[in-house]
């Protein structure tokens, strides 16, 4: 605990957990703890970001993440501006950097960006002095999702260090998996990934994880399992037989959980495909913390918004000194 107190957040951006130290991740989680208390008050608002402007810049549709960030920013008293590509200048062929520089010229403080290209948030961050928060970039990272997963794990199990955590689903195309792996490994968890062979990216072992193609193996002895969403809607051909097959082979069911630790924590980033990656019984069962993850997302995003804003202000003051 003492180490945390001495750490100060100095980065203007949050781009991915790959780029953070263990201490920085712990600082976000402990800051989120204080903000979680705020969300239980009758008046759930604090003036921390009053007068600041936060832009949600979403190049992919996403209600859940956008709304979570919007609620978090408003609870910090920031002004929030939503921009989605459906209506944006992107249609007129503007480059990402030009869009970013134009948003920055509005004297905006923080840009939360989701983009379908890996590295988009990092590129934007290099070109603007506003803070950039990566809300998902291609298959690369989705750091606030992993942070809220870890926050929930720590809340449930008291620690991350030494935990056995399995991540099951389409690992190859999942930024949620990648951010969780970076974060969990840094905080000392043992991570196993589980998927059909074709959905395991080659060389994933180098990240320090074990690999299995057997869901029962992934569940056996695990303290927690993070079940990813299968995106069958992207390939409609024979979707139904494929979904049935996936559920039979990989679906997390009550029967399968019987062979796992009694208190195994079941997580899912949502939205759930009931009857595909997990059964409804599991999704709504005693081991599931899925809705608590959503609640914790607000506290974690408040923490991130607060820390990057504070760091950026310090940076700007140093530059003007």
Q: Is 119 annotated as a binding residue?
A: no
Q: Out of 1, 5, 37, 107, which residue is the one contacting its own copies (CB under 8 A)?
A: 107
53 binds its own copies (CB under 8 A): yes
Q: Out of 7, 48, 292, 315, which residue is the one contacting its own copies (CB under 8 A)?
A: 292
198 binds its own copies (CB under 8 A): no
Single out the catalytic residue among 142, 178, 186, 268. 142
Q: Is 262 annotated as a binding residue?
A: no
Which residue has 């190049």 as its token pair? 59
Q: Out of 108, 111, 153, 200, which residue is the one contacting its own copies (CB under 8 A)?
A: 108
How far is residue 289's CA from residue 232's CA, in Å, rounded to a whole number? 24
Is residue 111 within 8 A of residue 288, CB to CB? The reply is: no
Strand blocks (E) in the chain: 53-58, 79-84, 110-115, 131-137, 164-168, 190-194, 210-212, 224-227, 265-267
Minimum separation from the CB atom of position 16 to its own copies (A): 24
Q: Is 22 annotated as a binding residue?
A: no
How far is residue 228's CA from residue 287's CA, in Å, rounded to a whole number? 16
Backbone angles phi, psi at 42, to 5 degrees: -70, -45
How far is residue 249's CA from residue 277's CA, in Å, rounded to a whole number? 10
314 binds its own copies (CB under 8 A): no
Is residue 78 within 8 A of residue 54, CB to CB? The reply is: yes
Of residues 144 through 173, those in contact with its own copies by CB under 8 A are none
Minimum separation from the CB atom of position 277 to its own copies (A): 12
How far is residue 253's CA from residue 277's CA, in Å, rounded to a whole number? 9
In this structure, what DSSP letter does residue 229 have? Answer: P
Q: Out of 1, 5, 37, 86, which residue is the one contacting its own copies (CB under 8 A)?
A: 86
Q: Out of 42, 236, 237, 319, which residue is the one contacting its own copies (CB under 8 A)?
A: 42
State the CB neighbour count (10 A cutoff) for residue 181. 24
Is residue 78 within 8 A of residue 130, CB to CB? The reply is: no
Contact flags string 229-268 toward its own copies, x per CB under 8 A: ----x-----------------------------------
Is residue 174 within 8 A of residue 146, CB to CB? The reply is: no
Known catalytic residues are 64-65, 92, 114, 142
> Where does this chain bind its own copies (CB under 8 A)?
39-45, 50-53, 55, 61-64, 66-68, 70-71, 74-75, 79, 81, 83-84, 86-89, 91-95, 98-99, 101-108, 233, 270-274, 291-292, 294-295, 297-298, 313
């Amino acid at each position: 605990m003492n180490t945390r107190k001495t750490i100060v957040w100095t980065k203007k951006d949050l781009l991915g957990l790959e780029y953070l130290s263990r201490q920085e991740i712990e600082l976000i989680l402990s800051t989120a703890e204080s903000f979680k208390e705020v969300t239980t008050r009758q008046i759930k608002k604090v003036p921390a970001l009053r007068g600041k402007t936060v832009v949600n810049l979403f190049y992919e549709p996403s209600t859940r993440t956008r709304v979570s960030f919007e609620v978090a920013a408003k609870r910090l008293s920031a002004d929030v501006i939503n921009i989605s590509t459906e209506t944006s200048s992107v249609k007129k062929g503007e480059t990402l950097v030009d869009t970013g520089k134009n948003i920055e010229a509005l004297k905006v403080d923080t840009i939360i960006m989701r983009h379908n290209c890996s590295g988009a948030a990092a590129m934007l961050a290099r070109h603007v002095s506003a803070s950039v928060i990566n809300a998902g970039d291609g298959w690369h990272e989705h750091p606030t999702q992993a942070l809220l997963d870890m926050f929930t794990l720590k809340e449930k199990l008291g620690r991350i260090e030494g935990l056995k955590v399995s991540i099951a689903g389409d690992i190859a195309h999942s930024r949620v998996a990648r951010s969780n792996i970076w974060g969990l490994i840094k905080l000392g968890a043992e991570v196993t990934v589980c998927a059909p062979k074709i959905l395991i990216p080659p060389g994933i072992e180098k990240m320090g994880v074990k690999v299995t193609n057997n869901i029962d193996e992934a569940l056996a002895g695990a303290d927690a399992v993070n079940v990813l969403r299968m995106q069958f809607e992207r390939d409609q051909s024979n979707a139904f037989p494929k979904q049935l097959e996936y559920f039979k082979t990989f679906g997390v069911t009550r029967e399968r959980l019987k062979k796992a630790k009694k208190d195994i924590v079941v997580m899912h980033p949502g939205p759930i495909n009931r009857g595909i990656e997990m059964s409804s019984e599991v999704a709504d069962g005693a081991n599931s913390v899925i809705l608590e993850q959503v609640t914790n997302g607000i506290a974690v995003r408040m923490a991130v918004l607060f820390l990057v804003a504070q760091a950026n202000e310090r940076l700007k003051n140093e530059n003007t000194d």
